[in-house]
Amino acid sequence: MMSYFRSRARLNFWEKIIYNYIPPCLVNTSSGNYEEMKLPKVSFIKRIVESKLRHEFGNLALVKKILTMDIPTILEFLLTSNIVIDAASRGISDFVQLCLTFFPELMWEKKFTKELIKEVVKGRHVELFRRLSAHNTTPYLTDDELTRRSLMEAVVEWSPRCVSADVSGAAFLIQRELQWFKVVEDMSDPSLKRLKFKVSKEEDGSDPSFRILKLEETEERRGKTYWEVFVEQRQDLLREAGQWMKNTSSSCSLVSTLIITVAFAAAFTAPGGNDQNTGIPIFLKNSSFIVFAIADAFALFSSVTATLMFLAILTSRYAIEDFVHSLPRKMILGLTFLFLSLAFMMVAFGSALTMVLNQRLEWIYIPITLFAAIPIILFALLQLPLYVEMFESTGWPPLYRPIKIWK
């Protein structure tokens, strides 16, 4: 059932790009089969096209089923069966969005809305939260202390459900968790961050569905704030994220140090040698020498900057707050300057080789340029998914980008 919804698809970085650029395909809902079409022969592209066809078929079949029922009947069914709440807890945003699009009256039900947002926060479903937060439902959802505490306890609790499929690695996961805590804190009440847990109990006259989440009241948790419990429950994740940052920074700093060594030595070893009388480089007036000198200088400066960024990461205190902006920004800058230093180093190498061989082989710059571009392109392809994910989650987090359900 879940394979028929886009929100449950597990696609990597490149598969998402291909999926988004596939044109919508018409499906034959009456026969239950896809329309005949020429699918690509490349296996992985064919698999992505077939996946998108299933998603389109599932959405159209659901719409057709809904349209066969009268509005009062379907509203009563959606409110009493908890099918929308269950879909939200499983992260099936396609189904929830379709129901809210065709029946906006569901959001008028206070009980339904509170339960829906609570399940979304518990399951860390970003796409659903972006849609629910786009219509100014915050005052409506957090109009009493019981609901605010319920939301805070939902975001504090750590469980396997909190591991998002679109987040790769412990560093990104703890960053996402901190963003969730900040969003819920701002949505409910910033003062609740330092508010202490209290014994959960059902108040007289209150609905059982709005009771505060049943968190076990142990001696370790008693008297602690929401923020303290949030940090304690993620200590293993914090250590894993810190170790990933250290390992990545160590590996990258090694490469940048090697580039510093090569670029610094090349600055005092001019291609073709120097004039024995004046000490001036022989190819000084050659245009390729200017390219070599500029590229070598930029390679040295970029690699030194990258090394400093990675050194700053290695000497960081690795506090949990550092994973929101400080450490990711340093990693982004380090990877950026590392890529630039690698590119400038290859340019300097190509220009130096061209100066030496240009007199005998005038066409030599063509293969040199092509082969020099290979490691640059390979590095970009291998590191681009990590770079884009880190840049997006740090500079433009999905949780802060609401999507309107109704125009």
- Give per-residue pLDDT as tens, 53-62: 665 555 566 6
Mean per-residue pLDDT for 72-101?
A: 80
Coil, helix or strand for 153?
helix
201: pLDDT strictly greater than 50: no
Helix (H) or strand (E) segment spanning residue 28: strand 27-28
Q: Which two tokens stand for residue 28?
A: 């034959």
Task: Check residues 188 and 195 and name the one with the higher pLDDT.
Answer: 188
Q: What type of residue is 212?
A: I
pLDDT above 70 covers a percentage of the chain that reads 66
Mean per-residue pLDDT for 107-133?
A: 83
DSSP string, 174-194: HHHHHHHHHHHHHHH-GGGGG
pLDDT band at 30; cut points 50, 70, 90: very low
Mean per-residue pLDDT for 135-164?
A: 72
Q: Write out pLDDT tens, residues 212-242.
A: 434 444 445 556 788 888 888 889 999 999 9
7: pLDDT strictly greater than 60: no
Q: What is the pLDDT of residue 365?
A: 73
Buried b (16+ CB within 10 A) or exposed e, 229-247: bbbebbeebbebbbeebee
Whole-prediction pTM? 0.74
Q: Where do we find the tokens 């994973």? A: 323
2: pLDDT strictly greater than 60: no
Q: Are 120 and 88 in contact (CB under 8 A)?
A: yes
Q: Which two tokens stand for residue 8?
A: 């449950």
DSSP string, 307-352: HHHHHHHHTS---GGGGTTHHHHHHHHHHHHHHHHHHHHHHHHHHH
pLDDT above 90 covers a percentage of the chain that reads 18
Most confident residue range from 26-30, 106-110, 221-225: 106-110
318: pLDDT strictly greater than 80: yes
Helix (H) or strand (E) segment spanning residue 50: helix 43-67
Mean per-residue pLDDT for 264-277?
A: 76
Measured between alpha carbons, how far is residue 84 from residues 4, 31, 78 in Å?
A: 16, 27, 6
Mean per-residue pLDDT for 120-137?
A: 79
Q: What is the pLDDT of residue 77?
A: 77
Q: What is the pLDDT of residue 29?
A: 41
Facing residues of 312 across strands?
none
pLDDT band at 199; cut points 50, 70, 90: very low
Q: Which two tokens stand for residue 82?
A: 């908890």
**Mean per-residue pLDDT of the chain:** 75
Q: Where do we find the tokens 């992985």? A: 44
Low-confidence winner among 238-242, 265-269, 290-294 (lowest mean pLDDT): 265-269
pLDDT band at 344; cut points 50, 70, 90: very high
DSSP string, 237-263: HHHHHHHHHHHHHHHHHHHHHHHHHHH
121: pLDDT strictly greater than 70: yes
Q: What is the pLDDT of residue 83?
A: 81
Task: Check residues 119 and 64 and name the one with the higher pLDDT.
Answer: 119
Most confident residue range from 85-94, 150-159, 172-181, 262-271: 172-181
Q: What is the pLDDT of residue 150?
A: 80
262: pLDDT strictly greater than 60: yes
Low-confidence winner among 13-22, 99-108, 293-302, 380-389 (lowest mean pLDDT): 13-22
CA distance 214 to 236: 23
CA 81, chain centre distance (Å): 34
99: pLDDT strictly greater than 50: yes
The number of CA neighbours under 13 Å toward the Cβ of 155 is: 29
CA distance 359 to 292: 17
CA 327, chain centre distance (Å): 15
CA distance 328 to 386: 11
